[in-house]
């Protein structure tokens, strides 16, 4: 059995079935890419895995560390070692980035406000933040600001990866972290992710475009169309998509960006 297993997952949104039986096995140390045209169910997969209340599980199983993930609350999934970088990060007025990162990190370490030995020291917290900010080419003026408040699209995506770097998950799902990023930002994000790659982390990169996969080389690529995987293989699957897009499944969408936006 793989470290993280999805079996025949079916899920619906607003009464409409979107995921129609998705199975995927991820071992730590592996990078899996899920590619698919718009509306194929990629974000439904990421939200369902993390326990978003707007998505209903109609069947199937998700197992991680011997636990039935689908029975856990989102925060319990996070404590277990799962992480989701959102496609559309939300603004949270009133909570600064620093406070959020420190509180999330302490919660993950099991600090409940009582046992101070579980708390990260201010010095360790600062040095950890500093080095991750550098890799992402973010300056520390982000830290006192409210979460994502007034951040550009690219800054929001980098802030998601900053959270991942601080929380050190064991299974990370990146939902279109590359969309809306210019090429430099894609490289910074890829550098940060590549730094985290290793035997303790399994990664699921969800993307519409092949471009980020030039920088974060996947071990496996799966193509999601209309809520089902229609093709799985190695990195060559991404090469094939780069040439033909999603046309062979009746979708006219290219798998390469047509223009670079910032």
List residues near ligand ADP by CB under 6 A: 13-14, 18, 36, 38-44, 54
- Comparison of 6 and 84: residue with beta carbon closer to Mg ion: 84
How far is Cα 60 from Cα 254, in angstroms, rounded to an integer?
31
* Residue 40 contact among Mg ion, ligand ADP, none, beta carbon within 5 to 8 Å by kind: ligand ADP
At 246, list the tokens. 């999603």
At 72, list the tokens. 């856990």
* Residue 41 contact among ligand ADP, Mg ion, none, beta carbon within 5 to 8 Å by kind: ligand ADP
156 contributes a contact to Mg ion by CB under 5 A: no
* Residue 18 contact among Mg ion, ligand ADP, none, beta carbon within 5 to 8 Å by kind: ligand ADP
**Sign of the C-alpha dihedral, residues 187, 93, 204, 257?**
negative
157 contributes a contact to Mg ion by CB under 5 A: no
Q: Shortest distance, CB of residue 18 to ligand ADP, whole angstroms? A: 5
- Comparison of 37 and 129: residue with beta carbon closer to Mg ion: 37
42 contributes a contact to Mg ion by CB under 5 A: yes
- Do residues 204 and 34 lie in contact, with contact meaning Cβ atoms separated by under 8 Å? yes
Query: What counts of helices (H) and strands (E) characterise the chain?
Result: 7, 12
- Comparison of 14 and 259: residue with beta carbon closer to ligand ADP: 14
All residues at 6 or more sequence positions from 123 whose CB lies less than 8 Å from its CB, including other chains = none
Q: Shortest distance, CB of residue 109 to ligand ADP, whole angstroms? A: 32
Query: Beta partners for 98?
Result: none
Measured CA distances, 159 to 199, 212, 241 (Å): 24, 17, 29
- Comparison of 43 and 185: residue with beta carbon closer to ligand ADP: 43
179 contributes a contact to Mg ion by CB under 5 A: no
3-state secondary structure of 21: strand
- List, as one string, the DSSP characters of 23-75: EEEE-TT-EEEEE--TTSSHHHHHHHHHT-TTEEEEEEEEEETTEEGGGS-HH
Query: What letter does residue 251 receive in the DSSP assignment?
Result: -
At 155, list the tokens. 């800054």
Q: Shortest distance, CB of residue 172 to ligand ADP, whole angstroms? A: 17
Contact window for Mg ion (CB under 5 A) among 68-76, 81-89, 162-170, 249-257:
81-89
* Residue 254 contact among ligand ADP, Mg ion, none, beta carbon within 5 to 8 Å by kind: none
43 contributes a contact to Mg ion by CB under 5 A: yes
* Residue 59 contact among ligand ADP, Mg ion, none, beta carbon within 5 to 8 Å by kind: none
Q: Shortest distance, CB of residue 227 to Mg ion, whole angstroms? A: 13
């Amino acid at each position: 059995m793989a470290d993280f297993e999805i079996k025949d997952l079916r899920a619906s949104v607003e009464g409409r079935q979107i995921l129609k039986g998705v199975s995927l096995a991820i071992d730590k140390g592996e990078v899996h890419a899920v590619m698919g045209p718009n509306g194929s169910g990629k974000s439904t997969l990421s939200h369902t895995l993390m326990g978003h209340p707007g998505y209903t599980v109609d069947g199937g199983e998700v197992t991680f560390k011997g636990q039935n993930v689908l029975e856990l609350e989102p925060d319990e999934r996070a404590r277990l070692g799962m992480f989701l970088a959102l496609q559309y990060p939300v603004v949270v007025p009133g909570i600064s980035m620093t406070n959020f990162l420190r509180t999330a990190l302490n919660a993950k370490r099991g600090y409940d406000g009582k046992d101070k030995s579980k708390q990260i020291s201010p010095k360790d917290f600062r040095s950890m933040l500093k080095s991750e900010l550098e890799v992402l080419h973010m300056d520390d003026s982000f830290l006192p600001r409210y979460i994502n408040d007034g951040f550009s699209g690219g800054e929001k995506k980098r802030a998601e990866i900053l959270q991942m770097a601080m929380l050190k998950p064991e299974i990370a799902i990146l939902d279109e972290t590359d969309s809306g990023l210019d090429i430099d930002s894609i490289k910074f994000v890829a550098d940060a992710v590549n730094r985290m790659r290793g035997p303790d982390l399994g990664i699921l990169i969800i993307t519409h475009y092949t471009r980020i996969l030039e920088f974060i080389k996947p071990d496996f690529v799966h193509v999601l169309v209309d809520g089902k995987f229609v093709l799985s293989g190695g990195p060559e699957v991404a090469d094939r998509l780069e040439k033909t897009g999603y046309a062979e499944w009746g979708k006219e969408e290219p798998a390469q960006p047509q223009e670079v936006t910032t």
